Amino acid sequence: MAFFPGSTGGIYRQFSVTLIVSIGFSALLALTLTPALCATFLKPHVPENHRKENWLTRRTGRFFTGFNNWFGRTTDRYQGGVARILSRPLRWLAIFIALVGLTVILFSRLPGGFLPQEDQGTVITVVQAPPGATRERTEEAVRQVKEFYNQQDIVTSVFVVRGFSFFGQGQANGMMFTMLKPWEERSGEENSSLALVGKAMGFFTSIKEAMVFALNPPAIAELGIAGGFTFKLEDVGGNGAEALFNARNQLLAAASQSPILAGVRPEGQEDAPQLRVMIDRIQARALGLSIGDVNGTLAIAFGSAYANDFNREGRILRVLLQAEASHRMTPQDVLDLKVRNAAGEMVPFGSFTQVEWTSGAQQLQRYNGYPSMTISGNAAPGQSTGEAMAEMERLANALPEGFAYEWTGMSYEEQQAGGQVGMLLGLSILVVFLLLAALYESWSIPVSVLLVVPLGVLGSVLFTVMRGLSADVYFNVGIITIIGLAAKNAILIVEFAIEQEAEGKTPLEATLEAVKLRLRPIIMTSLAFIGGMIPLFIASGAGAASRIAVGTGVVGGMLAATVLGIFFIPLFYLSIRRWLSKKRPAAPGQAQPEPNHA
């Protein structure tokens, strides 16, 4: 995990390094400090008739004695259940195969994702008026959006940026940053930023002056401007700008009808009205005009030109030349401009110029060398980004020939991460297998340990499905954790069974003795770990979605690996010993016996 590339590898690397350091310290303390603590705190066993009791030991003694008696009876019943399973191994192996098949089916149907949507206490709102809209029209849309946010109890402030947004700049664009109350003051899903985004999008459809989008910030700021997906539609066939525009609108219309998608929107600037000025160069030269003078007059009047600097109150200010706003509002203002000819006479533009209204692109996008347009959106409530991406791909495949698509931002990372899951799980299981093979000096015994892993994965998938989560990066982290934890439970039984066999017992006797003596430590360690994961399982506030994703997978996987594993691990070990490994294995740290030679 520590060597995986990309942004996904960065998340895996943080997890793996943290786990390596913590396990390293745990191993060091187990080998050094724990024996000293045991020698300090543990006392020789004193028979009951020789114990000196007080009021505390009398009260706690009844509880501990009763608990130990109950656990002893439970252990005996558990051992009897294992014995019945071992008497019919083929039947229970068939049940295990069915559980593995169920795990594969559920895992394949689990909705994919990259990162969960996080409540970061902020909502971004983009205001985009029609091309060429006046500042007053944009301001009216901004006013309605501000009124809506100010009416929400969970909002503390609204910061407005005029003339700029993520989609473009100009007087038709604006952007707002809405700050919410602290998480402890707005508990409940209905007061989350995601709920506010959904509520806002419903209200913004009534604003006629502009298109307004409420966006939840991405979980990782460097991977885009908002959560959801980002889709690039490309013209790879040279169909032209108009065909690309029509294909985009066709895709947007189809996406608006899909129940899997929500808030699908174009990004970028639409075509804006433009005034086309057509200069008759022959007529202009006949009138004694220089084309450079004509161009300079237009540029200065309707754009601006730097003249010089002047000093005022100790500050150097620039002088810019430009026509008054009232003289650059209509096409007739262009025709009324005058330019001096070679004879010193002022010639009006109307004598050599024609004008007409047209439209043109304010912004040209290219992606990987192809003309492109950007479409963004979100998954509908109850759907994952993986399902939304699959739906967009399905709709894009219905477009005419000559158009293709690519993913960018978090969507691209999600697509890349989806192809890494199989390799990640495979490498993790391979490393565990090789370590166990070196420990037991056997290629078959580690198989009995690793066969419990699908049971842990089954628990993770079931809990993830029940909570409506997706198979994102944090779910994959939980699955990797389950591989080690499930193997740990199996090692406790298998290692003790090997030691019992080394003392001369049959594989069946050794297995039954191992399950009886190792049940308590398995239950203890499993409950301790599950208890440690409960804060993640029920997390709330900032970053809660990622913690819930990890906690849900690990808690579900650990429960299944424990509840099912304590019955199936003995079956796996005995089946391996009977059918694959006839040779008695050596206990860890004990050399294999040398064969006798005549």
Q: What is the pLDDT of residues 22-46, one digit of tens each?
A: 888 888 888 888 888 888 887 776 6
Q: What is the pLDDT of residues 287-308, one digit of tens each?
A: 999 999 999 999 999 888 888 8
- DSSP codes of every residue in 242-308: HHHHHHHHHHHHHHHT-TTEEEEEEESPPPEEEEEEEE-HHHHHHTT--HHHHHHHHHHHHT-EEEE
Q: What is the pLDDT of residues 524-540, one digit of tens each?
A: 989 998 998 899 898 87
| Ranges 250-254, 303-307, 570-574: which has the least confidence | 303-307
Please check the confidence at residue 591 and state whether its pLDDT lies above 80. Answer: no
- DSSP codes of every residue in 171-231: EEEEEEEEEEPPGGGS-SGGGSHHHHHHHHHHHHTT--SSEEEEEPPPSSGGG-SSSSEEE
Q: Is the entire prediction scored with pTM above 0.95?
A: no
Query: Given CA atoms 356, 357, 358, 364 in this order, what sign does their dihedral have?
Result: positive
Q: What is the pLDDT of residues 61-95, one digit of tens each?
A: 777 778 888 888 888 999 999 999 999 899 999 99
- Compute CA distances 193 → 8, 152, 350, 457, whole Å: 25, 12, 57, 32
pLDDT at 432: 86
Class of domain 272-360: alpha beta
CATH topology of domain 225-271+361-408: Alpha-Beta Plaits (3.30.70)
What's the chain's average pLDDT? 85
pLDDT band at 586 (very low <50, low <70, confident <90, very high): low
- Share of residues in the chain with pLDDT > 70 (%): 93
Tell me whether the CATH fold assigned to 119-216 matches the one assigned to 225-271+361-408.
yes
pLDDT band at 597 (very low <50, low <70, confident <90, very high): very low
In the chain, where the domains are located: 79-115+418-579, 119-216, 225-271+361-408, 272-360
d(CA 196, CA 199): 5
d(CA 472, CA 153): 32
Please check the confidence at residue 427 and state whether its pLDDT lies above 60. Answer: yes
CATH topology of domain 119-216: Alpha-Beta Plaits (3.30.70)
Q: At what angle do helices 6-31 and 33-41 cross, to 10 degrees?
A: 40
* Whether the Cβ atoms of residue 528 and residue 26 lie closer than 8 Å to each other: no
β-strand pairing of 366-367 with 211-215 = unpaired
Please check the confidence at residue 592 and state whether its pLDDT lies above 60. Answer: no
Q: What is the pLDDT of residues 118-159, one digit of tens each?
A: 888 889 999 988 887 888 999 999 999 999 999 998 899 999
pLDDT band at 55 (very low <50, low <70, confident <90, very high): low
Q: What is the pLDDT of residues 315-342, one digit of tens each?
A: 999 998 888 888 888 899 999 999 998 8
pLDDT at 566: 92
410 compared with 280, residue with greater pLDDT: 280
Compute the average pLDDT of residues 188-208: 86
Please check the confidence at residue 211 and state whether its pLDDT lies above 70. Answer: yes
pLDDT at 48: 61
* Burial category of 286 from C-beta neighbours within 10 Å (exposed 0-12, middle 13-18, buried 19 and up): exposed
CATH topology of domain 79-115+418-579: Multidrug efflux transporter AcrB transmembrane fold (1.20.1640)
